[in-house]
A and B are shown apart, each in its own frame.
Chain A
Amino acid sequence: MADKTITVEVLRYRPEQDPAPEFQRYQVPFSDDMSVLQALLYIKDELDETLSFRWSCRMAICGSCGMMINGDPKLSCKTFLRDIHPATVRVEALNHFPIERDLVVVMDDFIDKLERIQPYIIPAEPRSLDQGAYLQTPAQLDKYEQFSSCINCLLCYAACPQYGLNPTFIGPGALALLHRYNADSRDGASAQRMELVAAEEGVFNCTAVGYCSEVCPKHVDPANAVNQNKTTAAADYFARFLKPKGSGK
């Protein structure tokens, strides 16, 4: 099945033995339908058991296998060797995150941010189960559905130059999810989430580079979410001067 070989260069870092990260090269036999992930699995199975990386579903939905591939943040499961060959595949841990080991990054910062945005429905009008489901028209669903498709793969964080400069920035993925709840017709807590949006770590960090949306493997378009919130946050800011506090939306 495998009729050619490709060179895969992997940035290795084992904190217990390596003073600094360095590249290691492997030769991998491949066929045209193989992904970069399959190449890494081949290395682990046949060439070097010590290589560590996260992966699971193989179909771009679990969000585990984000890494830098030839300089761009990508999911390794849906990046294909045929599109790189005959060039070398150069694989590194995601930018802007500390390396735990090899291709595994420390992602505590993202998890912490996800927890801070209150990523759950705080109902505008609570319903009991006996009252059944909320009504939500396809148009209302459409307002947030795209932003609910974030798989937390962190590619947008690796792409975001502002996050690289200022890690306190909430960042594209978590802001898209924040927007997802604010834009949901069932939710009534956008005012409290907007405090975070307008805060120092919020949307105004974004300089509208838009690379986050370009690399998003699920077309979430976090830049769009961030921009919508810039407008809302700015309007809220000016509204404070126009209306007395507590006068409602």
Chain B
Amino acid sequence: MESFKADVVIVGAGGAGLRAAIAVAEADPGLAIALVSKVYPMRSHTVAAEGGSAGVAQAHDSFEHHFNDTVSGGDWLCEQDVVEYFVAQCPQEMVQLEHWGCPWSRKPDGHVNVRAFGGMKIERTWFAADKTGFHMLHTLFQTSIKYPSIKRFDEHFCADLIVEDGRAQGVVVIGIASGEFMLIEAGAVVFATGGAGRVFRENTNGGIVTGDGMALAYRHGVPLRDMEFVQYHPTCMPGTGLLFTEACRGEGGFLLNKDGYRYLQDYGLGPAEPVPRNKAMELGPRDRLSQAFWHEQQKGRTIEGPHGSVVHLDLRHLGERKLRERLPQIYELAEEFLGVDPAKTPIPVRPAVHYTMGGILVDGSCAAPLPGLYAAGECSSVGIHGANRLGSNSLAELCVFGKVAGIEAARFARTVSPSAAATLQKQAQASEHRARAIVAKSDGTERIAHLRKEMAETMERGCGIYRLGDSMQATCDKLDELRQRYKNIGIEDKSSVWNSNWLMAIELGFQLDVAQAMAYSALNRKESRGAHQRLDGFEQRDDEHYLKHTLALFDGDGRPRIDYSPVRITKSRPAVRAYGAAGEQAEKEARHG
């Protein structure tokens, strides 16, 4: 098999992967970097992030405020030392992007502007209209072209991780255009492969968001942490799940039920005021807003549409001019996809799966327990999101921890020498054999699209906004069954060139493993916290038993083994998580108490 020798190989060329590559290149221009992506970098799903990226920017704001918002937003399941580092690095990374050309929206005097976002006490979300992820991604991609040591492998699909001598030493990739395998040897491997939202039916994610890196790390013994915490974004397009950014509400949008009533005031988020107050009403956190939708639906106060119940995202009072300036993409999505002019008519929305809070277990240096493996971005669980991520923290995460992962991987790569090439080759050939077996088999009867649909439906039923023990158990059972049936898939396409049938089959294997980790992690957490809400006798947060991280460990054909690890609490003791007037009251008491 052809091989390429790198010092650091990075899998995934979205925000985190590109930032990592640039960090390696800047740390040591002598290091050879292989940047692998199954798409061209600018197609990566970072592109679809809309609202903005967090970083303290105003004189009356502080790192402490950003820390407190993040930790309480995560329902105290955050690694607090990591959050502390994160919030302190965010502004510098946003300035770095500015220097690289990111077209941040500006105030009249030329300073970068910031907007309000859900769960954030003070406006600190940097934005580029409502295409922030797009602009960050293109800025990073285009900037990466400057560095000659970054060798890109665009449209190369990562089929396996090479682990030898107890450490990660490279990856096996498939050139999509040729169907040929290649071994990329490296002293360190960085996974920046994004989330896994496509294991659910209605989601905001692109087709490529299939949990590849999570599954590969997991299969090689690295725990997936906190996988039960899956974020439902409250304002998505019915049917397709496409995203209407939280910035709609940051700019002053309202959520209305069928009576035109701002129902969030009934769920501890009020009082309802004409202008949005931070951390109240429509600017509450995503988990609470999606949960409120669910309750409104139960009460029959939602509106029936062709793709299920909806509520209204009302932007009319903002006026066309402001909408065109601040939310141009949202305007177009509403007009073109729904035939709705948001300056004249409210947009029908419902919650959809948006983000995986959990991921590959890494420490604050982005290092996984497997030496030589690093992870950053949505595929990782570095510990900043806890049980519920705040909007605009994930784009900042890509930069802050992409950079850390790059620097740490570069440092590690300089300290090791590779195992014998023949040993690595042998492993790579075994991986190739396994991947080719999927397509070579001629007697399979299961259709991958149907298994994928069954998976997505059972995840939605068992692991949705509210969860029940019985239905989670049913989902676990169904996933066990689907993993068995997966062995019997039949692939129609036997060709080599751009065989997406084959690659989607490999992705489905990744998805089923990740889905299983999510479902079993959920079943075993007998409490309600953040995005994991139960209605079967475990409605409360239970710090005594569950102020801890879930670890899912791969067990081959069997079920994942579930273990737990402590949460690092440094300065914020778990307290009541409250928003709106109740939140302000709680904050006041905490200050005086």
Contact = CB atoms under 8 A, between A and B. Distances in A.
B532 interface: no
B101 A135 contact: no
A181 to B, nearest CB: 7
Contacts of B206: 56-58, 62
Interface string A50-62: 1011111111111
Majority SS of interface residues in chain B? loop
B497 A186 contact: no
Contact of A136 (B44, B45, B106, B177): B106
Contact of B106 (A1, A44, A138): A138
A185 to B, nearest CB: 9
A247 interface: no
A144 interface: yes
A145 B145 CA distance: 20
Interface string A66-107: 000000000000100000000000000000000011101011
A118 B146 CA distance: 8
A101 B95 contact: no
Interface string B110-127: 111000000000000000
Contacts of B337: 33, 59, 78
A99 B112 CA distance: 44
B96 A129 contact: yes
B101 A181 contact: yes
A98 to B, nearest CB: 11
B532 to A, nearest CB: 27
A14 B336 contact: no
B333 interface: yes
A215 to B, nearest CB: 15
A134 B96 CA distance: 10
Given A78-B337, A120-B142, A57 B47 contact: yes
A63 B143 CA distance: 19
Contacts of B108: 137-138
B48 A59 contact: yes
Contact of A121 (B39, B40, B100, B496): B100
A56 B207 contact: yes
Given A16-B495, A78-B337, A181-B101, A56 B40 contact: no
A132 interface: yes
Interface in A128-181: 129, 132-138, 140-141, 144-145, 148-149, 151-152, 177, 181
B40 A107 contact: yes
Interface string A9-32: 000001111000000000000010
Chain A interface size band reads 35 or more
B47 A121 contact: no
B145 to A, nearest CB: 5
Nearest to A37: B207
B306 A1 contact: yes
A149 B208 contact: no
Contacts of B261: none
A102 B498 CA distance: 9
Contacts of B40: 107, 111, 152
Contact of A49 (B48, B103, B138, B501): B501
A132 B95 contact: yes
B112 A16 contact: no
Q: What 7 pairs across the A-B complex have the smallest Cβ distances?
A: A135-B110, A45-B449, A56-B206, A49-B492, A119-B142, A101-B498, A121-B101
Given A55-B207, A151-B42, 13 more contacts: A49-B449, A50-B493, A52-B499, A54-B43, A59-B337, A61-B134, A100-B498, A111-B154, A114-B142, A121-B100, A129-B92, A133-B95, A136-B110
Interface of A: 1, 14-17, 31, 33, 44-46, 48-50, 52-64, 78, 100-102, 104, 106-107, 111, 114-115, 118-121, 123, 127, 129, 132-138, 140-141, 144-145, 148-149, 151-152, 177, 181, 184, 186-187
5 contacts: A49-B448, A53-B500, A62-B42, A106-B177, A120-B142
